[in-house]
Chain A
Amino acid sequence: MPEFFLELFSEEIPARMQTRAAADLERLAGEALAPLKPANLRAWAGARRIALAAEVAPGVAERRVHERGPRRTAPDKAIDGFLRKHGASRADLREEGDFWVLERVEPGVAAAVLIAAAMPTLLRHFPWPKSMRWGGTSLFTWVRPLRRIVALLDGEVVPFSLAEGEDDGHHLASADQSEGHRFLSPGAFPVSSAAQWAEELHRRHVMVDLGERKRVIAEGVASLAAAQGLAVVDDPGLLDEVAGLVEWPVPLLGRIDAAYMDLPVEVMQVSMRVNQRYFALRDAAGKAAPWFAFVANVAAHDGGATIIAGNERVLRARFADARHFWDHDRTVRLESRVAALEGVTFHAKLGSQGARVRRLVALARAIAPQVGADPALAARAALLCKADLTSGMVGEFPELQGVMGGYYAAHDGEDPQVAQAVREHYMPRGPSDAVPAAPVAVAVALADKFDQLAAFFGVGEKPSGSGDPFALRRAALGIVRILRENGLRIGILDLAQSACALSNATANEPAGKWPEKPAGKRPEEADKNVSHAQAETRLGRTDATGVSPGASEVCDFILERLRVQLRSEGARHDVLAAVLAAAHDGTGKGRGRDDDLVRLLAKTAQVTDLLGSPDGADLLTAFRRAANILRIEERKDGPHDGPIAKDRLVLPEERALADALADAEARLATALAAEDFAAATAALAALRPTVDAFFDKVTVNDPDPDLRRNRLRLLNRLRAAMGLTADFSRIEG
């Protein structure tokens, strides 16, 4: 099959857009060339080009079209519409029974013709995240100015241009000319095939394959490091980015001035990684080494000496700046920065960080006892946790918020648990980040996330589709992970409730409550004053169980994250839904649902096990049968939830079921009270033979209404007993 090759050569494409661009090109070309049955599609992306190769059919064969049109009796208008739609004329129509039929031959199309027609449209609509105009003669946009187009079918140029009417399309037209490395191999060269393109570019100092660039960088950096007895700190994200910045990677090593090695390691990393795209190195003991690795895009005439010296110099200047902030920030206590948070906006609709901190203090103090933390320390950590936002270092490197606060708190002689909590309260920052484990840190981290959810939900800023500008999904998943990974027993509804009440009460209060100290009162009491009194007057709406709609929404949102998380772990998502739907305390009273994630997960695991066992599978079948019968019969005569008349149990199988149910109910009550869900599901599993025998031998809808009623009530009790752990009607499959 002929090979189609396309290269789009442009000015430098942002690294973060390249991988996606290659995937988009492959997908869009696949669609545009569909009539040619493209096979073996491959796409490339790099700093100055994206490219595609595919094997395609030589053309589309001639085709006979036979299409039934309107009835012969249809008005002219309908017939004209039909003809317009197909670009045909009356002469092409033939009568066939009661209908007009269009019959014509669609000529075959050569691959080159089809491609030439499809490419300009593809390029005009290429989905770059942001594209731009340039020059003065065309409205054609690209991510950065597009300079050359190579389009070949088996080595022959597929001719097309981007001109359109008055618009000259930047004079861009397909040709066979590409370019190599900007400095090492300037000038154009002819392309004849995908393979020759890749080979020739390699000769011209361009590695077109991302995998190869990454390999050269990773191996090169590692061997340079090894020569110094060092190892590279693994950083796949940085490797990806660097591989998108260079066409001809040349790994190099530079030294860090010893004078800066006492800066906090995170500060050094952020200067190196974020600002400079340098790799960090560690010595054999795992300590930060006074070296960095980086990648040049040129094999320099002097072997890289000038480039290394330049990069070392840049890093010195960056570290000198960081040193200035580090020294300067520590001249004031973190605590003294709290007042300035009144002037820092949290969100336009949500007031200042100062108001937020007041909420966090109240919330962290309330959470503390539930996670084994000292409430006073938790409140102290919450008070300080955002104070580093006004420090010079965080102003310069926002990604260090929290981390710097931790350093400054430690420097101020705050309790180590407080410093740790300040440092860790944003964690987990992503799916691969660790969760805080120390109690004070957990209290503040939970407070931070619940407040975030309550506050944004309160002003209607909820995530939609893929959009989540305030990282609320991450916050909810953070809550799930903190509770789960620490095995913490907390009702999330209560916390959501407190958070919503606090955020409703303070979201719109005027700034300026700091720093007055509540005279003569213990700080705890002062905080309570802020929150609950105002909260209750404003909150107003709650449902019958005392749950505000906002809190319940936050709770659902968190549970939804739990469900997504379980699903991504390969667990059955329907089991969690079934467990969630069950009344949790076994009585059907209370709040009617479980909001303790740890307990929910334990139940889910046991129910999953039960369903995986033969007893469980049989039991599920029996449950469905019982539920079906009940649904039909209850429609006729209402619920069958009355007591069972023992003397009207006539068959041995129904007597056995009544006894087994009584036994199971007692075991379930004990097991659930002790939260022994293994025992609870074992009690259910034990019902299986009795239930099977019942359905085998007993006719539920007996002509005798007393017998029928009794048997329906038995089924109802079976359904209810099973419903204590999970709503089995939600189990799929």
Chain B
Amino acid sequence: MTHSATAASPCPTQPGARQPGSKPPSFQDLILALHAYWSRQGCLILQPYDMEMGAGTYHPATTLHAVGRKPWAAAYVQPCRRPTDGRYGENPNRLQHYYQYQVIMKPSPQEAQTLLLDSYKELGLDPLTHDFRFVEDDWESPTLGAWGLGWEVWCDGMEVGQFTYFQQVGGIACELPCFEMTYGLERLAMYVQNIENVYDLDFNGRGVTYGDVFLRAEREYSAFNFEYANTELLARHFADAEGECAALLARKLALPAYDQCIKAGHLFNLLDARGVISVTERAAYIGRVRTLAKACCETWLAGEQD
């Protein structure tokens, strides 16, 4: 399953640039193209993790597998929930639920940048017609105790991805620094399809739009996130998740414990969206989630070395 050196060299792919007049890929075609591409690069194609989370990085396939000495390469789509970004379906660029395409390769392959640029070619973005750039963007996740160095990937002035060389995860220095690539799928699709409102995205190439699928969800979840989520319940669940995480860690059950950490992270995001967390409390909540994340990564690592 390790990522072999030969896979790192630019592999033969379908001709990148689309023929003039040909139809741009639909939202789901885009995902299928990325799956096919990264599968050819030796990545496991995983499925979304079945829990609510704010970014694809929280998937155990990234957070836990980033630590330790075992090589790893995976790609997957992860639905991301960012309650504070909800706009009741009224903003053409902001969603409280959207999809990230996440790639992680450990250790980072020699030709990571080339692999990435080739993936854009695969989607029809030719680097001799478009302006691709790597613009400094150091990444940090205070809740995961993680940081890395890398870039925003720009295409014609638009950020079409984030490229990070992880240096630390869960407070643990990455022994084999990995490469993480995150594509914001809606934004990328909007660019490829030349659409200005996310709800107008062509979802399947047969007349279904992104709005048909998600507009109602955006409205309802915005109301839930901002107005109706029961904050007492959320605060209680946060404490429960925290307690359960600690209890499971005592049993050295890293994965179930980490589920509780993910849960706590999302509950914190909801509380934040409801506006009931003061600035000082905010830092404290983040610290509590980080403590869980660190303990989970340590337990995971210890289990791996057994």
Report if B248 contacts A (CB, 8 A).
no
Q: How far is the CB of B189 from chain A (nearest CB, A)?
A: 14
The answer to whether B134 touches A11 (Cβ under 8 A) is yes
Residue of A nearest to B110 (CB): A135
Chain A CB within 8 A of B200 CB: no
B279 / chain A contacts, CB cutoff of 8 Å: 343-345, 352
Is the C-beta of A14 less than 8 angstroms from some C-beta in chain B?
Answer: yes
Indicate if the CB atoms of A307 and B91 lie closer than 8 Å: no
Residues on B with C-beta less than 8 A from A135 are 107-108, 110, 176-177
Q: How far is the CB of B164 from chain A (nearest CB, A)?
A: 10
Q: In the bound complex, how far is the Cα of B113 from the Cα of A137, in angstroms?
A: 19
Neighbouring B residues of A11 by C-beta, 8 Å? 113, 134
Q: At the interface, yes or no: B196 with Cβ under 8 Å from chain A?
A: yes
Q: Which of A133, A137, A301 contacts B128 (CB 8 A)?
A: A301
Residues of A within 8 A of B150 (CB): 144
Cβ of B129 under 8 Å from chain A = yes
Q: Which residues of A contact B177 (CB under 8 A)?
A: 132-136
Please, which residue of chain B has its CB at the minimum distance from the CB of A316? B196
A11 to B135, CA, bound (A): 11
For the complex, give the distance between the alpha carbons of A244 and B71 in Å: 35
- B130 interface contact, C-beta 8 A: yes
Identify the A interface with B (CB < 8 A). Answer: 11-12, 14-16, 130, 132-137, 143-145, 182-184, 245-246, 276, 278, 294, 296-298, 300-302, 306-307, 309-311, 313-317, 320-321, 324, 343-345, 348, 352
Q: Give the interface segment out of B35-43, B154-162, B263-271.
A: B154-162
Query: Are A314 and B157 interface neighbours, CB within 8 A?
Result: yes
B112-129: contact bitstring with A at CB < 8 Å (1 yes, 0 no)?
Answer: 110000000000001111
- B197-223 CB contacts (< 8 Å) to partner A: none
Which 6 A/B pairs are nearest by Cβ-Cβ distance?
A: A310-B156, A136-B107, A14-B136, A12-B134, A311-B157, A296-B131
Tell whether, in the assembled complex, residue A302 and residue B196 are in contact, meaning their CB atoms are under 8 Å apart. Answer: no
By the criterion CB–CB under 8 Å, are B92 and A297 in contact?
no
CB nearest to A144 among chain B residues: B149
- With a cutoff of 8 Å between Cβ atoms, the chain B residues found around residue A12 in the complex are 134-136, 151
Known: A135-B107, A314-B158, A345-B280. A298 touches B131 (CB 8 A): yes
How long is the Cα–Cα vector from A556 to B24 in the complex, in angstroms?
67
Q: How far is the CA of A15 from the CA of B136 in the complex (A)?
A: 8
Q: B278 within 8 Å of A by Cβ?
A: yes
Contact of B130 with A306 in the complex, beta carbons under 8 Å: yes
Additional A-B contact list (11), CB under 8 Å, known A182-B127, A321-B93: A130-B138, A130-B149, A134-B177, A144-B150, A144-B165, A298-B131, A310-B131, A310-B155, A317-B92, A320-B92, A345-B280
Q: Which chain B residue lies CB-closest to A246?
A: B133
CA distance A569 to B130 in the complex (A): 49
**CB-CB < 8 A to A144: which residues of B?**
149-150, 165
Instruction: Give chain A residues whose Cβ lies under 8 Å from the Cβ of B66.
Output: none
Select which of B91, B136, B165, B191 is within 8 A of A132 by beta carbon.
B165
A136/B176 in contact, CB under 8 A: yes
Chain B residues whose CB sits within 8 angstroms of the CB of A300 once the complex forms: 128-131
A313 and B196 within 8 A (CB): yes
Residue of A nearest to B90 (CB): A324
Q: How far is the CA of A50 from the CA of B128 in the complex (A)?
A: 25
- Give chain B residues whose Cβ lies under 8 Å from the Cβ of A16: 136
* Residues in chain A near residue B191, CB distance under 8 A: 310, 313
Contact indicator B156/A311 (Cβ below 8 Å): yes
Q: Interface readout for B162-196 with A: 1 if CB under 8 Å, 0 if not? A: 00010100000010110100000000000100101
Contact between chains at A302 and B108 (CB < 8 Å):
no
Partner of A245, one of B113, B133, B138: B133
Which residues of chain A are within 8 angstroms of B138 by Cβ–Cβ distance?
130
Residues of A within 8 A of B155 (CB): 310
Residue pair B128, A276 in contact (C-beta under 8 Å): no
The distance in angstroms between the C-alpha atoms of A317 and B130, with both chains bound, is 18
Kindly provide the distance from the CB of B8 to the nearest chain A CB, expressed in whole angstroms.
Answer: 11
| Contact A317-B93, Cβ < 8 Å, known A16-B136, A133-B174, A136-B107 | yes
Enumerate B66-106 residues with CB–CB distance to A below 8 Å.
71, 91-94, 106
B165 touches A134 (CB 8 A): yes
CB-CB nearest in chain B for A12 = B134
B258 at the interface (CB under 8 A from A): no
Decide: B149 and A306 in contact? CB cutoff 8 A: no
B156:A134 contact, CB within 8 angstroms: no
- Are B196 and A276 in contact, with the CB atoms below 8 A? no
Q: Is B132 an interface residue (CB 8 A)?
A: yes
Chain B residues lying within 8 Å of A276, measured Cβ to Cβ, are: 157
Contact A183 B132 (CB under 8 A): yes
A310 contact set on B, CB distance < 8 A: 130-131, 155-158, 191
Residues in A whose Cβ lies below 8 Å from that of B278: 343
Which residues of chain B are near A137, meaning CB under 8 Å? 107
Chain B residues within an 8 Å CB radius of A143: 149
A134 to B151 Cα, complex, angstroms: 14
A309 vs B191: C-alpha distance in the bound complex, in angstroms?
11
Q: Are A298 and B128 in contact (CB under 8 A)?
A: yes
Are A320 and B93 in contact (CB-based, < 8 A)? Answer: yes
B136 lies within 8 A of A134 (CB): no
The reply to whether B129 and A306 contact each other, CB–CB distance below 8 Å, is yes
Measured in the bound complex, the distance between the Cα atoms of B107 and A15 in whole Å is 26
B129 touches A301 (CB 8 A): yes
Q: In the complex, are the beta carbons of A133 and B156 less than 8 A apart?
A: no
CB pair A297 B133 closer than 8 Å = yes
A414 to B149 Cα, complex, angstroms: 46
Contact residues in A for B94 (Cβ distance below 8 Å)? 321
Residues of A within 8 A of B194 (CB): 313
Bound complex: CA A11 to CA B106 (Å): 18
For B129, list chain A residues within 8 Å (CB): 300-302, 306-307
Residues of A within 8 A of B91 (CB): 321, 324
Closest chain B CB from A417 CB (angstroms): 31
Q: How far is the CB of A140 from chain B (nearest CB, A)?
A: 12
Shortest beta-carbon distance from B139 to chain A in Å: 11
B127:A298 contact, CB within 8 angstroms: yes
**Across the interface, which residues of A come within 8 angstroms of B158, CB to CB?**
310, 313-314
Contact A184 B128 (CB under 8 A): yes
Instruction: Decide: A314 and B156 in contact? CB cutoff 8 A.
Output: yes
- Please list 11 pairs of residues, one from A and one from B, whose beta carbons are closer than 8 Å in the complex, sorted by A's number: A12-B135, A133-B174, A134-B108, A136-B106, A298-B128, A306-B130, A307-B131, A317-B196, A321-B93, A344-B279, A345-B279
Nearest-CB residue, chain B, relative to A346: B279
B173 CB to nearest chain A CB (Å): 8
User: Which A residues touch B131, using CB under 8 A?
Assistant: 296-298, 300, 307, 310
Q: A135-B107, A315-B157 are in contact. Are A307 and B130 (CB under 8 A)?
A: yes
Give the complex CA separation of A320 and B93 in angstroms.
Answer: 9
Chain A residues in 8 Å Cβ range of B157:
276, 278, 294, 310-311, 314-315
Scan B250-268; emit 1 where CB is below 8 A from any A CB, else 0. 0000000000000000000
In the complex, which residues of chain A have a beta carbon less than 8 angstroms from the beta carbon of B136? 12, 14-16
In the complex, A106 Cα to B136 Cα: how many Å? 48
**Residues of the B chain whose Cβ atoms lie less than 8 Å from the Cβ of A184:** 128
A-side contacts of B127, CB under 8 Å:
182-183, 298
- Rounded to whole Å, the gap between the CB of B114 and the closest CB of chain A is 9
Cβ-closest chain B residue relative to A136: B107
- Shortest C-beta distance, A578 to chain B (Å), equals 48
A145 and B196 contact, CB distance less than 8 A = no
Q: Which residues in B have their C-beta under 8 angstroms from that of A301?
A: 126, 128-129
Q: Of the candidates A245, A320, A321, which one forms a contact with B135 in the assembled complex, judged by CB atoms under 8 Å apart?
A: A245
Shortest distance from the beta carbon of A337 to any chain B beta carbon, whole Å: 14
Instruction: Give complex CA distance A316, B196 in Å.
Output: 9
Minimum C-beta distance from B119 to chain A (A): 15
Q: How far is the CB of A199 from chain B (nearest CB, A)?
A: 23
B residues near A145, Cβ cutoff 8 Å: 108, 112, 165
A358 CB to nearest chain B CB (Å): 17
What is the distance, in angstroms, from B169's C-beta to the closest C-beta of chain A? 13
